[in-house]
């Protein structure tokens, strides 16, 4: 039986930094051009610039009167009414200018005429067809967004590496981009391991467990910008396990679940060691998910046989613990940033929100915990509370949760009302 690699168990922050460092050295793959409507959630491969000034003209931000502010210094005042400006094409070809002593009635979104430096709301005593007597200005401010105030023509609006959300799609639409260049999703292989694990179409024996990890991972991989490739379930037997691992390395990244604890039949690490894997860490001081493994193998012609030829590149792998909630948590904490990098996304720090604890928490010291929790209360009074669970196999508890409470390794007691970090999921 192959031997295990030597152990390196890191703090959560150190383990995360190792992944981030390796992620930052990966370059994304090829790109494709897709319709704007299909680009949401994809990663932009080619930057988008402003095709004209934004806004393209000085834009009124409210309904009111376009005036010269100086004309309202002394009230009341009678201004000549030169017409009405509404959003849309300008009437006629006469260039519209505002002279001293004049006003235009103007609508939200309409171009403010040259000469006007404010759009005001006013009270007036008499309004005739061609003049208005203004007695009072209501609310202050110019209410104009100047031409190019939001962006100059030619300036960068959407950088490469941006994940396209609805705002980015809107900005692309606003500059006339009906198609966008995006990166092709990296292929992420998923290998569930364990003699007791059976797939969904098989008859399940009394002591067997249905494979759920491959399916949660497939969802998370897609959310992170990858394309999941599910492999057949691997038994706890080194020859077949190795075959399937080798198959997994044809993808851009390999995620395995189960078989990474210290048990006699936890063969993932020994088999990888036999394949000349470099282990970047073999555990993290977290709960759930402590046995999580991260590493890489030399990949290319003859790579796993040690024929002495130079490997063409490295392929990364994660060995995620098999308990379903551990699998989900360790994916979020470690696999996601690497997949995002392979997908071409610019790195972003892991950030937590904060909420007050609804009730006290007591845990043992030493591990950073990411425990299924629920945000309750409303608006500014949101509170976080642990969901009762039977441990990291309890998928139903995870379904009842909507976040993870983050408990630092040096806290064994947290009081009700205290602020706590929360990882939204
Ligand atoms: P392991 O990490 O292999 O020691 O597995 C830990 C626990 O997770 C065991 O109770 C396994 O039966 C369970 N488990 C492992 N792999 C899967 C899977 N693919 N789907 C559901 N449960 C699993
Ligand atoms: Mg197992």
Q: Is the separation of the CB atoms in 45 and 319 below 8 Å?
A: no
Q: What is the structure's pLDDT at 311?
A: 59
Q: What is the structure's pLDDT at 308?
A: 58
Q: What is the structure's pLDDT at 16?
A: 98
How do residues 320-371 score in pLDDT, each as one tens digit? 999 999 999 999 999 999 999 999 999 999 999 999 999 999 999 999 999 9
- 213 Cβ inside 6 Å of ligand 1: yes
Closest C-alpha to ligand 1, atom 5: 322
- 45 Cβ inside 6 Å of ligand 1: no
CA distances, 211 to each of 206, 269, 288, 425 (Å): 14, 21, 19, 22
Number of Cβ within 10 Å of residue 106's Cβ equals 27
Q: Is the separation of the CB atoms in 132 and 84 below 8 Å?
A: no
Closest C-alpha to ligand 1, atom 8: 323
Q: What is the structure's pLDDT at 125?
A: 87
Radius of gyration of the chain (CA): 30
Cis peptide before 76 (omega within 30 of 0): yes
DSSP letter assigned to residue 89: S
Closest C-alpha to ligand 1, atom 23: 322
3-state secondary structure 274-301: HCCCEEEECEECEECCCCCEEEEEEECC
Phi-psi region of 225 (alpha: psi -120 to 50; beta: other; left: phi over 0): left
How do residues 36-79 score in pLDDT, each as one tens digit? 999 999 999 999 999 999 999 999 999 999 999 999 999 999 99
Can you give the pLDDT of all 425 residues of the chain as single tens digits? 677 888 999 999 999 999 999 999 988 889 999 999 999 999 999 999 999 999 999 999 999 999 999 999 999 999 999 999 999 877 665 568 999 999 999 999 999 999 999 999 999 888 888 999 999 999 888 999 999 999 999 999 999 999 999 999 999 999 999 999 999 999 999 999 999 999 999 999 999 999 999 999 999 999 999 999 999 999 999 999 999 999 999 999 999 999 999 889 999 999 999 999 999 999 999 999 999 999 999 987 666 666 655 556 899 999 999 999 999 999 999 999 999 999 999 999 999 999 999 999 999 999 999 999 999 998 989 999 999 999 999 999 999 999 999 999 999 999 999 999 999 99
Helix (H) or strand (E) holding 28: none
Q: How far apart are CA 161 and CA 164, in angstroms?
A: 9
Q: Is 330 exposed, middle or buried (0-12, 13-18, 19+ CB in 10 A)?
A: buried
How crowded is the C-beta side of 12, counted as CA atoms within 13 Å? 20
- 392 Cβ inside 6 Å of ligand 1: no
Measured from the alpha carbon of residue 394, the closest ligand is 1
């Amino acid at each position: 039986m192959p031997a295990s690699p030597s152990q390196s168990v890191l703090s959560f922050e150190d383990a995360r930094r190792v992944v981030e460092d390796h992620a930052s050295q990966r370059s994304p793959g090829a790109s494709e051009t897709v319709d704007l409507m299909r680009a949401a959630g994809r990663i932009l491969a080619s930057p988008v610039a402003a095709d004209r000034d934004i806004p393209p003209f000085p834009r009124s931000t409210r309904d009111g009167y376009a005036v010269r502010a100086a004309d309202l210094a002394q009230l009341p005042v009678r201004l000549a009414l030169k017409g009405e400006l509404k959003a849309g094409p300008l009437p006629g070809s006469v260039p519209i200018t505002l002279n001293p002593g004049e006003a235009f009635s103007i609508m939200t979104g309409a171009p403010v005429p040259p000469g006007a430096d404010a759009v005001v709301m006013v009270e007036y005593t008499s309004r005739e067809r061609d003049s208005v007597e203004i007695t009072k200005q209501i609310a202050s401010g110019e209410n104009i967004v100047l031409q190019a105030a939001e962006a100059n023509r030619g300036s960068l609006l959407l950088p490469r590496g941006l994940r396209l959300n609805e705002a980015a799609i809107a900005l692309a639409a606003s500059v006339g981009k009906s198609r966008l260049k995006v990166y092709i999703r990296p292929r992420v292989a998923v290998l569930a391991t364990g003699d007791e694990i059976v797939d969904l179409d098989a008859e399940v024996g009394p002591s067997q467990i249905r494979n759920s990890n491959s399916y949660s991972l497939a969802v998370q991989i897609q959310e992170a910008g990858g394309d999941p490739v599910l492999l057949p379930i691997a038994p706890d037997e080194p020859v077949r396990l190795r075959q399937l691992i080798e198959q997994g390395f044809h993808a851009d990244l390999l995620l395995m679940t189960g078989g990474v604890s210290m048990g006699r039949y936890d063969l993932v690490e020994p088999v990888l060691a036999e394949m000349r894997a470099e282990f970047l860490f073999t555990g993290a001081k977290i709960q759930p998910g402590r046995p999580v493994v991260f590493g890489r193998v030399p990949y290319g012609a003859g790579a796993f046989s040690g024929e002495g030829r130079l490997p063409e590149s490295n392929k990364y792998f994660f060995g995620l613990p098999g308990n379903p909630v551990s699998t989900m948590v360790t994916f979020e904490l470690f696999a996601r940033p690497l997949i995002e990098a392979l997908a071409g996304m610019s790195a972003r720090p892991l950030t937590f929100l904060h909420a007050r604890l609804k009730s006290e928490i007591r845990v043992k010291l030493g591990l950073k915990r990411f425990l299924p929790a629920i945000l309750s209360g409303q608006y500014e009074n949101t509170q976080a509370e642990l969901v009762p669970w039977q441990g990291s196999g309890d998928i139903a508890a995870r379904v009842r949760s909507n976040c993870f409470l983050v408990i630092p390794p040096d806290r064994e007691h947290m009081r009700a009302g205290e602020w706590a970090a929360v990882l939204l999921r």
